[in-house]
Amino acid sequence: MAARDPYEVLGVKKEATEDEIRTAYRKLAKKHHPDLNPGNKEAEARFKEIAVAYDLLSDKDKRARFDRGEIDASGAERPEHAYSRYRGFAEGAPGERYEFHSAEGMAPEDLDDLFAFFGRGQRGGGPGRGGGPVRMRGADLHFALTVDFLTAINGAKQRLQLAPERSLEVTIPAGVRDGQILRLKGQGGAGLNEGPPGDALIEIHVAPHPFFRREGDDIHLELPVTLAEAVLGGKVTVPTPSGPVSMTIPANSNTGRVLRLRGKGAPRPGGDPGDEYVTLRVTLPEGDDAALAAFLRDWAPKHPYDPRRGMAS
């Protein structure tokens, strides 16, 4: 198939500027991008043509060669323009991950009201509509639930409002992860003609914490320590998701030193819990301290050091 003239495809003149070409491309691409036109084969074919034309005309060198007639519009030497193939996934089960987009937390899936039509006519179906009653499983309903950081680690029961007049108590299992989906059997839409009800699928969003950070099942925490604690060592109280614990800081601990509190991370189903990693950050006293300044002025380090020696070029 001979490719159409790229100027014609983009609807621009031979002498169009780069900007004009880009603008024309954007306008057409917005209209025909396959991911924005799921199920529309024509849009896909059109987009490919547009992309090929733009690949050619947006490349100064190729455009010049095309203008001189050295290469043709099909540009056989050019790899095909790569574009996202999101819809291939989004149309199937993997796309369910992006079912809702609400950051607010609960977003009752309003699509399901469309499918409530399955429930209609249960009584009124009557004779003459052909065949016996069709039994059908109810639709799965999708919800999002935002839980706070510590709830996700320690577990809790939380109420989820499914509809104005219907709420449900959800058991948040300890250690639940952001994005995890809880399935509540039989809590979804009603079945048709005594078909079983669907399930409620609840996507958990975990809110961030002001000072804990979670990586897998481990918790990370940056712990400010005083100059004296860093140099002399000592016992300090450290917050963990299950409550404060006492930790010994070894003498001469610098900023960045990481201490591990075993088992103080998130619980892991069927395994040992994660750990908490505490990264020390040495913090100077606030405000002027004449005594400290005087001490440092007179202080001759036993081991003189240059912390930036690795940076010398």
Minimum separation from the CB atom of position 47 to other proteins (A):
11
- Rank residues 152 and 170 by Cβ distance to other proteins and give the closer one: 152
Nearest Cα neighbor of 278 from 293, 296, 257 is 257
Residue 11's identity, in one-letter code, is G
Minimum separation from the CB atom of position 121 to other proteins (A):
11
Distance from C-alpha of 242 to C-alpha of 294, rounded to nearest angstrom: 43
CB atoms within 10 A of CB 102: 11
Minimum separation from the CB atom of position 118 to other proteins (A):
8
- Rank residues 179 and 256 by Cβ distance to other proteins and give the closer one: 179
Length of the chain: 313
- Rank residues 96 and 222 by Cβ distance to other proteins and give the closer one: 96
Enumerate binding residues for other proteins (CB under 8 A).
25-26, 29-30, 33, 35-36, 38-39, 82-92, 94-101, 103, 109, 111, 114-115, 129-131, 134, 136, 139, 177-179, 205, 214-218
Question: What is the CA 273 to chain-centroid distance, rounded?
Answer: 24
Minimum separation from the CB atom of position 143 to other proteins (A):
13
- Rank residues 98 and 211 by Cβ distance to other proteins and give the closer one: 98
Which burial class, exposed, middle or buried, applies to 47 when counting CB atoms under 10 A from its CB (0-12, 13-18, 19+)?
A: buried
- Rank residues 22 and 257 by Cβ distance to other proteins and give the closer one: 22
Is residue 264 within 8 A of residue 240, CB to CB? The reply is yes
Which burial class, exposed, middle or buried, applies to 19 when counting CB atoms under 10 A from its CB (0-12, 13-18, 19+)?
A: exposed
- Rank residues 196 and 233 by Cβ distance to other proteins and give the closer one: 196
Q: Beta 234-238 vs 181-184: how paired, if at all?
A: unpaired
Minimum separation from the CB atom of position 215 to other proteins (A):
7
SS3 of 150, please? helix
Minimum separation from the CB atom of position 4 to other proteins (A):
20
